[in-house]
Amino acid sequence: MRTGRLLLGTNWKMNKTIRESVDYTRRLLGLLDRFDRSDAVQVFVIPPYTAIEAVKRASEGRLWVGAQNMHWAERGAYTGEISALMLQELGVDLVELGHAERRRYFNETDADVNRKVHTALQYGFKPLVCVGEQLEDKRRGIGKETVKNQVRTIFANVETDCAPRLIVAYEPVWAIGAEHADVGIEYVREMQAYIRTSLEEMLGRSAAAMVTVIYGGDVNLRNAATLVSESGTDGLFVGRAAWEAENFAELIRASLKAIG
């Protein structure tokens, strides 16, 4: 169930200097200019903090530009953190929250992500929230329950009128960075539908229908078109397969062709 334009994006993680980021952005925009129906897709990139301002300028408003994380406090004694106030000054469109690497390496909890979601909404950002089960959850048959608990905690007390700004990225943790994860279209379809059902229980059917639910984890040029056309996703969150502008452009082209 697609809520609007197909949403396709990538997170560069701890990669790319300012110069590399600007070069990537300009090359990607030049390639997109050659596509028919490019207005059917909204593309976003999430560079390192140091490159956000430069990428925002280079994108000329054609790409959404995001941040990879954000603290929930406006200011304070939080060495090494970045606040929403700082990101607002840079013109950030969205903020990625709750990525599996933040949970694994920096001990972030669903309750932490919930606080960040509320701050992101307060400052006018689109919170892009990552949810997904571990391999052990899948093996034990509790993958759905794990994801549902994440959704219930992360979006607790979020007002229904904020639904159009919410983006949920379903990323099975066991598939992130894997070359041959073999998640399967049916599995993706089933899990994304379950996320939608969980949102309906919290926000109501009409509001939940306005939330964008996208898929990430093992997205590449080989499976992008099938995911877009058969999984019921609102878009794709691409990892290393999109770290070169030409590769990302080809993936976007394949996705556009898949939706006719």
Q: What positions carry a catalytic annotation?
A: 99, 171
Cα separation, 156 vs 4, whole angstroms: 25
Contact 166, 211 (CB under 8 A): yes
Give CA torsion, residues 217, 94, 224, 26, to 10 deg: -120
User: Distance between CA 47 and CA 69 in Å, rounded?
Assistant: 11
Query: What is d(CA 77, CA 182) in angstroms, rounded to the nearest whole number?
Result: 44
Rounded to whole angstroms, the Cα distance separating 67 from 81 reads: 12
Closest CA to 260 of 35, 32, 37: 37
